[in-house]
A and B are shown apart, each in its own frame.
Chain A
């Protein structure tokens, strides 16, 4: 994490117990997507800011419950102190309750949980981030990380697919990245409104156009499973090694510690063994009905 290298990882005595976080800011991204900026109030809990791109926290709304939310980025408050950013879509009981919160209100937080993107393996390689859908925080977190440590990575390819062109989130961020050296940004909308300057169609079509150097590229993929599977297979056809392709998976998670059983994907507990996992480990199970 840039500027916060002193943060140490530490295991809590009881990983089921939350700690308090205060909301510093709240950004309404779209009608139903919002970002919370959080500070942990207990000085002894600051180690939790060591969260890595691709990992997640459990966010708790008093009296309502907990949900797993991907880490988006570490921002800074007015005093330059680190704040956790979580982007949430208000779709369920808990996320709607979180959406109703305002700055200064308190929530519970426990984490970080799970395996993030393979940052060390990615060093000195080209990064290819393929995202389907909107507000995909795991993808944004790895892109932000790569730009914060720009010298560690080669070319950065960013492919973002959305259903409708109006769904695109953080558009100015993508436009900013597109202007950076050694960076390719390509967008695809299944349905494009007039004036959409990018591609109209599927993400896999854009992958075909990428000037990849397959032997030195690491792929970070996040989105619906059929889209991730199709993207991974297309990348393999373009000679990217299967074990250089990493997917961020999603399942029902309640405990986040590999105990409650809901997130099992075959033998893997997505909360503990994932959410980010190498494609070869998932390949024979993706697309199986009901797995």
Chain B
């Protein structure tokens, strides 16, 4: 691990100011409608303070404590995904000329450099997965390249978290510019890129004490003691468990609402649609997040390959934990647990995986 420096809590604002002074729009965690979301941030006073959370299947609740920490919670519903793979965007516009010819205009707006404070290990890992998937996508890449990432080692994982067993957390492993480890009095700061090193050099910091190192280590150890773990299963064999009774059981509960795919930091499906202007001469071609739980996802001239919830849930799970490994060399799950918390009926995919590993009745 690269050498860390110590930043007192009162100087966190200096880091924020430094980032903003470099021309970044800074986003950071803020409480909006009872959930923690990434929103434009100027001042540490906007950050949660002493806020903790309870997450359980189908449950997400915030609790105010007397603590001073800004990051004593695991994650909100939003990962980095909306910043790079935006929920809805125009890909290109077409224009019908008076002579009947068509003109096409690419629609890639130069993105504003964006810095994000408070990125978790699970979300950095998921961003790396999306980097792989969207490698040839100019819309994604342009936004991706303008991101500056300030990570936080997770000190307070939720009961739904299992990043320790996917090896993506609770600490920020890589893919960040700066990573902070929050202590009672301040932060240990380490750089993960040249940009991060350059920022760190401009901060008023000191050498951390042995006690500070120990505090960071012990809270990380504690954060690793998560209750949830990935069960044992063979990814390549998941798709062949096509007729397992576990699918019927989960399909009975699943509402096919697509919440899990919306909050999932790695889910990448999108649909394309056309939005013609009323003037009849212009039209824009757009894409927006889609879900394998949607009715039309498997539609092809009059036929749906997955007409029911069972087929759709099976597609999601076998892709995320099975065929993803074949596609990108690792599972598509980074253990953030969002799909568990934000499922309105509290389905836990780890339980489904466990069931799939058991012999059928």
Contact = CB atoms under 8 A, between A and B. Distances in A.
Interface string B275-298: 010001001010100101000111
Given A62-B96, A260-B269, A266 B310 contact: no
A137 to B, nearest CB: 14
A41 B101 contact: yes
A194 interface: no
A66 B272 contact: yes
Contacts of B270: 254-255, 259-261
B33 interface: no
A89 B315 CA distance: 29
A266 B134 CA distance: 19
What class of interface size applies to chain B in its complex with A?
A: 35 or more
Contacts of A251: 298, 300, 305
B92 A92 contact: no
Contacts of B299: 252
B53 interface: no
Interface in A245-291: 250-252, 254-255, 257-262, 264, 266-267, 284-285, 288-291
B311 A261 contact: no
Contacts, number: 132
A251 B268 CA distance: 17
Given A17-B92, A289-B242, A262 B269 contact: yes
B144 interface: no
A18 interface: yes
Given A63-B276, A251-B300, A257 B136 contact: yes
Contact of A288 (B242, B274, B287, B302): B242
Interface in A110-154: none
A17 B106 contact: yes
Contact of B323 (A17, A19, A267): A267
Nearest to B140: A259
B298 A65 contact: no
A172 interface: no
Contact of A261 (B91, B103, B138, B292): B292
A266 B240 CA distance: 10
Interface in A52-74: 60, 62-66
A259 B92 contact: no
A230 interface: no
Nearest to B319: A264
Contacts of B326: 266-267
A75 interface: no
A108 interface: yes
Contacts of B103: 20
Contacts of A14: 106, 108, 138
A107 to B, nearest CB: 7
A152 to B, nearest CB: 33
B314 interface: yes
Nearest to B100: A106
A65 B106 contact: no
A291 B138 contact: no
B92 to A, nearest CB: 5
Given A41-B101, A107-B102, A108-B102, A259 B268 contact: yes
A289 B243 CA distance: 8
Contacts of A106: 100-102
Contact of B104 (A13, A20, A288): A20
Contact of A252 (B108, B242, B300, B315): B300
B13 interface: no
A221 to B, nearest CB: 18
Interface string A36-51: 0000010000000000
A78 interface: no
Contacts of A107: 102
Interface residues of A, number: 44
Contact of B133 (A18, A252, A259): A259
Nearest to B235: A267
A150 B207 CA distance: 77
B308 to A, nearest CB: 8
A91 interface: yes
A60 B305 contact: no
B239 A266 contact: yes
A262 B306 CA distance: 11
A66 B133 CA distance: 22
Contacts of A260: 269-272, 287, 290
A41 to B, nearest CB: 7
A255 to B, nearest CB: 7
Interface string A75-102: 0000000000000010110010000000
B137 interface: yes
A261 B268 contact: yes
Given A63-B283, A66-B285, A289-B242, A91 B302 contact: yes
Interface string B229-244: 0000000000110110
Contact of B136 (A15, A64, A261, A264): A15
B42 interface: no
Nearest to A224: B303
A215 interface: no
Contact of B240 (A16, A258, A284): A284
15 contacts: A16-B92, A17-B91, A65-B274, A66-B272, A66-B274, A104-B100, A250-B300, A251-B305, A254-B287, A255-B272, A259-B133, A259-B136, A262-B269, A289-B243, A290-B298
**What are the 8 tightest A-B residue pairs by CB atom distance, in nearest-first order?**
A290-B311, A261-B269, A267-B326, A63-B276, A267-B323, A65-B274, A63-B283, A254-B272
Given A260-B290, A261-B290, A290-B305, 11 more contacts: A17-B91, A62-B96, A65-B285, A66-B285, A91-B302, A254-B270, A259-B136, A260-B270, A267-B323, A291-B242, A291-B315
Interface of A: 13-20, 41, 60, 62-66, 89, 91-92, 95, 104-108, 250-252, 254-255, 257-262, 264, 266-267, 284-285, 288-291
